[in-house]
Chain A
């Protein structure tokens, strides 16, 4: 199992554990973490799984690919660490990852 910590915009902290290979979006949606919707089911086509990877984890996650980049362009408050959660597969190297979730998605 891989441990992930989600920090909500209001500071609420949630620790979840998911199976290796799960996406960060599925880890959030599957554990009812607020602020992550995942409307397209995980194919970089809706932008409603936007979150921010904490600084110390940013160079450990897989790089941003072209489709993800084009969708990230439209999310609110695109900033350092901005990613689509569905494009990050939770490997053992990401055990303990910390991500912040936004107020809402649309």
Chain B
């Protein structure tokens, strides 16, 4: 059974977040994300100290930006707030040294701009439309294979299974090898010793295998007729045809990593949100056309990436605080998405909001997620196909509180027990 305490934000005064001195608040503590206790801390920061300095943390000193409008300020000033991997990149953990491949998510203009412009057309709505049919077919097949009336783990059987399949579909990757894609994605982000990679050398070896495999696919496709998969599109598009091998691999890994955990955890988060809001589940079943506005709301509610990080390139002022050149500045999307000054009833999951895309989960400004329409399409197809098969409110039941990931970056789940009733 789910208990009410898991869903609601506790009242100000009974919350431990209000019991410690302000300057001791450290919202980068990974345990807060695993235990889902972050909300009170962010609520307090938004009220009392929206741009907050934390002197000591697992990741060293850093600034937290917690309100929607201040996050927007940071997003739209890339010259002052840098994403460059040489300054520290885009996560609070500082740059993972093994992945020094050119990935435009951690570059500043003008370098960033050229790379982004070459990849962006590939995930434009017109191209996505060509992939919709096959993604729908494969999603349907995967759902038809689910056990009805029996308990199973939604994360493995739906979210991971479908995101892996979809990555394979997008790249037209050899089907029997598709779990390699998820493995390469995990190996890119892993911390050495966490069970995925043992050391930086090990990581580099895995990246080498990925490079060799992907280069083989490129060579096959560059010599064949154009097809609607991302590798063929890159091999035939004049803007991407002449990439160096490093640029190709960097772009491929960025597309794999960018679309993997984020989409996976939104697939789990969507069901969790509906199960916690039975009225919304009923509303959806009564009018399945609401899937369209529900999907951006799922992505807001889940906020699959809790933060992105920047580094100040000069002394500057933000929300009245003096930020020094070189300081680490963390934009907490997970907090901005619960900011009542920007979003009405932000703690509620509401599937028919008027402007559902006004949320921070994809970032804003020049680095705004290039895959945002692709992610929405995948989730939309999933929910359309689910409702086709199991159209009754509450028919897909969450049986227990999910197990959450221990990370101040990836807001996700390792398991969620569910049962589909006949």
Contacts and interface: CB of A to CB of B under 8 A. Distances in A.
A38 B355 CA distance: 9
A70 B123 CA distance: 20
Contacts of B123: 106
Interface in B123-150: 123-126
A64 interface: no
Interface residues of A, number: 20
Contact of B75 (A45, A73, A76, A103): A45
A45 B367 CA distance: 10
Contacts of A43: 72, 76
Contact of A46 (B125, B126, B364): B364
A67 B366 CA distance: 10
A42 to B, nearest CB: 10
B86 interface: no
Contacts of A37: 357
Contact of B124 (A38, A45, A70, A76): A76
Given A71-B366, A74-B113, A103 B125 contact: yes
Contacts of A63: none
A43 B76 CA distance: 9
A86 B318 CA distance: 25
A76 B126 CA distance: 11
A44 interface: yes
Contacts of B109: 70
A50 B123 CA distance: 17
Contacts of A44: 76
B113 A73 contact: yes
Nearest to B296: A39
A47 interface: yes
A41 interface: yes
B116 interface: yes
Nearest to B373: A106
B73 to A, nearest CB: 10
A41 B358 contact: yes
A40 interface: yes
How many residues of B sit at the interface, in one of the four size bands? 20 to 34
B129 to A, nearest CB: 9
B76 A67 contact: yes
B199 interface: no
B295 to A, nearest CB: 13
B396 to A, nearest CB: 29
A74 B116 CA distance: 8
Interface string B43-82: 0000000000000000000000000000010011010000
A27 B279 CA distance: 33
Interface string A76-88: 1000000000000
B346 interface: no
A105 interface: yes
A67 B370 CA distance: 18
B120 interface: yes
B372 A106 contact: yes
A104 interface: yes
A104 B126 CA distance: 7
B368 interface: yes
Given A40-B358, A40-B364, A74-B120, A106 B76 contact: no
Contact of A74 (B75, B117, B372, B373): B117
Contacts of B125: 103-106
Contacts of B373: 104, 106
- Which of B116, B123, B358 has the largest count of A CB atoms less than 10 A from its CB? B358
Contacts of B75: 45
Nearest to B129: A104
Given A44-B76, A45-B75, A67-B76, A74 B366 contact: yes
Given A45-B76, A45-B365, A73-B113, A39 B358 contact: yes
Given A74-B120, A106-B372, A106-B373, A45 B364 contact: yes
Given A74-B117, A76-B120, A106-B373, A47 B368 contact: yes
Contacts of B357: 37-39
Contacts of B258: none
Interface in B342-400: 355, 357-358, 364-366, 368, 370, 372-373
14 contacts: A40-B364, A43-B72, A43-B76, A44-B76, A47-B368, A70-B366, A71-B366, A76-B120, A103-B126, A104-B125, A104-B373, A106-B123, A106-B124, A106-B372
Interface of B: 72, 75-76, 78, 109, 113, 116-117, 120-121, 123-126, 355, 357-358, 364-366, 368, 370, 372-373
Given A40-B358, A74-B117, 6 more contacts: A43-B76, A45-B365, A74-B116, A74-B366, A104-B125, A106-B370
